[in-house]
Structure 1
Amino acid sequence: MADVGFIGLGAMGAPMAWNLDDAGFDLLVYNRSDDREDPFESAGIETGASPRDVAERVDVVCLIVSNGAAVEAVLEQDDGLLAGLDEGTTVVQMSTIGYDETMAAAEMVSEAGGTFVDAPVSGTVGPAREGTLVGLASGEESAVEDVWPMLEAMCEPVVNCGETGQGTNMKLFINLLLGDAMGAFAEALVFGRKNGLDLDTMQTVVDNGALDCPLFAGKGELIADGDYEPRFPVDYQFKDLSLALDRAGDVGAPLSQTAAARESFSAARAQGHGSEDMTAVIKHLAETADVSLAEE
C-alpha cells in the first residue's frame, strides 16, 4: 500500500507531489486531466483511476485543487474520494477555499468515516518547488501529528494553527494581507510614474527603508522587467480576497482596504489580465492614470 495519495497535479500540486517522492514516501497520484499524470508515470510512480481508487489504496490523501467547487467535486463525484474512505483514511485538504467550504468538507469526510486535516499552504510555485511553502495545519491534534512528516516534506515551516478551520482562517489572513499590500504597492508605483519618477529609483527607496520586504523587491523587479508570467494569478488573488471578505462579513470584521483591493483586482480581470501574475493589477491602474510603466 502506498504511503500517501496526492490529488491535484497543477502548478502547485505537481512540485509538492515530487517533494513527497523525493522525501521517500511511496506515492500514488491522481489528476482529473491525464496529461498531468504522465511525468509521474514516466518516473515509475503509480496513478489512480479515480479519487475513490486513491482513497482505497492509501492511508493519507493530500488534496490541492483550484477552489471549493473543485474540492466538493473530488469528494462527491461518481467514484469520488468519499466513496473510498474508511476509518483508517486521513484527508489532508490543502486547497485555498472558504471557511464554510472547509467545514463542510470536514463534515463530509467525518460522516464517511475518515479523518480530516485542514492544511492550506502559503506560497507560490517557487516555494512549492523548493519545499519552502508555509504549511498552515489545523485539526485534531493527533491527526495533525500523524501527517506532520508529510507536511514537512512539502513545507518549511509547518505551523499548527489550532482546531479545524483555523488553517483556512490563517490562509485567508495572509492572502488578504498579500492582496492589500500588492494593491497598495501598485498604486504607489503608478502615483510615482504620474509624477515623473522612474521605477528603479522608487524601488531603491523602498528597498532601503522600513518597507523593504521580499514581496516589494520581487514584484517590483518583475514589473520593471514587464514580466507578468503567472506565479500567483490575478484570478486567484481576487478569489482569495472575496473569500476573506465573505468570512469577514460572517464574523463582523471590517475590511475596507481589502474591499478596495479586491475591486482593483476585479478591474484587472475585466481587462483580460486574470491569468497573469498578480502584479498585473498595476496594468489597470496605469491605464486609468494614462502612464507608461516602461522607462523613457
Structure 2
Amino acid sequence: MSGVDQAHELVERALELSRTDGCVVIADEESSVHLRWAGNALTTNGVARGRRLTVIATVDGARGTACAVVSRAGVSRGELEPLVRAAEAAARAAGPAEDARPLVAGLPEAPDFTAPPARTTPAVLARFAPALGDAFARAQAEDRQLYGFALHRTVSSYLGTSSGLRLRHDQPSGLLVLNAKSPAAGASAWHGHPTRDFTDVTPERLAALDAGLARRLGWSRRTVELPPGRYETLLPPTAVADLMVNQYWWSSARDAAEGRTVFSAPGGGTRVGERLARLPLTLRSDPAEPGLETAPFLLAYASGGEPPRSG
C-alpha cells in the first residue's frame, strides 16, 4: 500500500475507470493493535494496518441487472484498472441479480469523505497493560494461569457510487478475552468483554473480571453426578449474547420467506406475529445504540448472499 494513495482518491479513480452501467466502490482502511498472553506472561504484541478495495459492477440487460463483486487487499493506484476490469468482466458473464435495485442518488457528500482514515495506536492499551501485569501477579500467587488477548481495531470505510453517492464511516471495536485455568483442578473459566476504546476496561474493572474467573474456578471443586435428562441451566451474559447473535444472523426476512429458517411458516410465508417464548424477550437493532454505534448506512460487499471474489 503506497503512502501517497489516499482511500477517497482510489474510490474516485476506480469510478472514473468504470465502463459499466453502474459501479460501487468501497475502500476499507484498517488499523489494529493487540496484546496476547499465556501462562501469566505476554507472548506477542503488535500493530497492523491494511487496505481492502471492493468494486461492484452492474450491467443492465433485457432480463434484468447483473452484478459482480471483486475485492482485493493492498491495492494501489496502479492496480486499480485490472481490479475494475475484473469486476466488469464478471458482471457481464453473470445472470440477473434478484436483489438488484437502482443506485441511490441525491444525497449530500459526507463532510469528512476526503479526510484521512481514523487510526488506532498502542496508546489505547496504555492503562490496560499495567493492570494486566497486576492480574498476572495475583493469578501466580493463587496458583492460577491466565490466557487470552486484547484487540482494538478501527476501520474507516469510504463508499462511492457512479450515481454520485459519497459516504464515509469510522468503526472502532475492541475485544478482551480472558481465560483462567487451574492446573491443580484441571478446570477453566472464560470471559469475553466487548469495548469500543478500552476506556471502560479500567484497572478496577479488570481486577473484578479476574476475581469473577477465580470464583468460577472455585465452583469447579464441587461436582455433582446427574442422570441424563432435561435441566434448567443458567447461562452467563456472554453465553446468552453469543446465542442472540446467532439468532440475529438467522433472522433474515428473505430466508424466512423462502422456507429456510425456523422463522418460516409451514406451507409458506413467515411466522411474523407469532409468540416465540413465554419469557419476555426483545431483540432489536439500532445503529445509534450507545456503546454499540455502527454505520448508519449499509455497506453491501456482496449480492444475494454470495461472497465477493478475492484477488
Give TM-score scaled by structure 2 length: 0.22
Quick check: which has more Rg, 1 or 2?
2
Give TM-score scaled by structure 1 length: 0.23
More relative contact order, 1 or 2 (CA 8 Å, 6+ apart): 2
Higher strand share: 2
Higher helix share: 1
